[in-house]
Structure 1
Amino acid sequence: MSKATPAKYTQDYLEQLPQDIKRHLTSYELAGDFGKVEEWRSSLAKKYTDIDVWAVEDLILTRWRIICRYEHAAGAAFSRFLNGLKQGKILGTKCNNCGRVMIPPRVFCEWCFTDVSDWVEHSGTGIVSTYSLSHIGTDPGVRLDKPVIVAVIWFENTFRTLASSKTVLHAGGILHRLDGVEPDKVNVGLRVKPVWKPFEERVGSILDIDYFTPLEAAGK
């Protein structure tokens, strides 16, 4: 096996550089020196910046995969919310000043600037505030014959409308999947309720709710 030369290392290094950096090097006539050890030594001996002068042996390309694993603390309020989902419960917090229920729960009301400590269990019923029909599933290269219905659900009693401007102020909503309804039957304002996964399949996740379905489809 032939021994790699400093010039070969340098060429490999520069071939991997972003285009803007390569253009910068080309402007200093460095790119034309590929494979010529002595010319590389001469070119790199010039001082183009305030950074210490490079040496040819420093320009060695190494490849590796960086694995970054992060852990995010859910916090006291959201942890209680997730534990509630595992039990088939939708928990929220209630502000005693303005009376609104916040789902997912928060321990501070940004409307009233007060701490919140009261917990309530919500039925899970709500309305569709907006929705989308997606013909793309987990494989972006395959078009689904029947679209997946994705909707933002506003839970009942978690929002209110200002009479003066008809502006909706909402405090509780999640993005989830609709099922048990045909796409052409979905509309903004449709009342829905959650359908839970079997208890043994729940893990303490928003996906413990399998989907939301119209109240009429649930026999209500």
Structure 2
Amino acid sequence: MRVKPARYSERYLAQQPEDVRRAIIGLELDKEFGRVEGWASSLNRKYTDTDEWRAENLILTYWRIACRYSHAAGKAATRFLDGLRDGKILGTKCGRCQRVMIPPRLFCEWCFRDVDEWVEHSGEGAISTYSLSYIGTDPGVRLEKPIIVAVIWFDNTSKKSPSSQTVLHAAGLLHIVDGVKPENVSIGMRVRPVWRRDGERTGSILDIAYFTPVDGGVG
């Protein structure tokens, strides 16, 4: 059996979408990959003796697989991300319990009903929990100054349970807090979003550059 080098043809590459063609070339998938000759005779051979399992009787091939994935954000998340691109924080509001859900959901799990009312939120809220991280975008480099990573509970997104009077919260948003020294941050600190400039926002959670204390951050 022989393994003959082969390549993607220029014709094949020309038929691919531009982003696929760039990916193939960027990952060097246009270079040699294995192509087996004589595979039919190897498949038809009946092996009865282990001595016959020699390299020349085996089928061997190799290649790099280009896998492309597409993730659908869904109806609620898509509208939420579109709002971020426009500099707005959008949530959904349950008509029964009056709870505002951010990030938005289309079903209230407290009232067991569909939700179709959308509201714009100021983005102000309080820190429910936080952590000081010395790891940035490069996990191999320790930061001299830590990043404050916090979960933000937005105003009017919590309600008391009618049965137990327990305060229940509608999730929250994990983000960066800046504009305050690490030793001064605290649970319950009031914060607001700081947006990226018009033209820089792309419909991403990073359209909010960070959250910063409101009026000194006193809750």
| TM beyond 0.5 | yes
Partner of 2:143: 144
Quote the Cα distance in structure 1 between the aligned partners of 2:96 and 2:51. Answer: 69
Q: Which has the larger radius of gyration?
A: 1
Give the 3-state SS of the residue equivalent to 2:130 in structure 1: strand
1:27-46: CA deviations, max 9, x gaps?
A: xxxxxxxxxxxxx973277x
Q: 1:203 to 1:67 in 2, by over 3 A?
A: same
CA shift at 1:173, angstroms?
A: 0.9
Please tell me whether residue 204 in structure 1 is matched to residue 214 in structure 2: no
Q: 2:205 matched to 1:188?
A: no
Residue 126 of structure 1 corresponds to: 125
Q: Which residue identity is paired with 2:125?
A: G
The amino acid that maps onto 2:61 is T
- The aligned residue for residue 85 of structure 1 is 84
Q: One-letter code of the match for 1:187?
A: S
Corresponding residue for residue 49 of structure 2: 42
State the SS of the aligned residue for 2:50. Answer: helix
Identity in percent? 65
| 1:216 Cα deviation from its structure 2 partner | 2.1
Note the residue ranges of structure 1 that are not aligned, 5 or more in a row: 5-39, 46-53
Judge which range, 101-110 or 161-170, deviates more: 161-170
1:67 CA displacement? 2.4
**CA deviation digits over 1:46-79, x for unaligned, max 9?**
xxxxxxxx88656444333222221112222221
Partner of 1:104: 103
Question: How much has 1:194 moved relative to structure 2?
Answer: 0.2
**Residues in 2 aligned to 1:96 and 1:73: alpha-carbon distance in whole angstroms:** 27
**What is the aligned partner in structure 2 of residue 179 from structure 1?**
178
After superposition, the CA RMSD in angstroms is: 2.6
| Structure 2 counterpart of 1:216 | 215
Deviations 1:163-207 (A, max 9, x none): 986744111411100100111111111110000000110001111
- TM-score by structure 1 length? 0.70
Indicate the larger mover: 93-102 or 165-174.
Answer: 165-174
Whose strand proportion is higher, 1 or 2?
Answer: 2
Q: Structure 2 stretches of 5 or more lacking a match?
A: 4-46
For residues 89 and 148 of structure 1, the distance between their equivalents in structure 2, rounded to whole angstroms, comes to 25
Counterpart CA distance in 2 for 1:169 and 1:208 is 28
- C-alpha distance after superposition, 1:97-131 (max 9, x if no partner): 11100111111111111111111110000111111
Residue type at the aligned position of 1:198: R
Structure 2 Cα separation of the partners of residues 113 and 134 of structure 1: 38
Note if contact 1:194-1:211 (Cα within 8 Å) is conserved in structure 2: yes
Distance, in Å, in 2 between the alignment partners of 1:108 and 1:174 is 18
Distance verdict in 2 for CA 1:90–1:60, change over 3 Å:
same
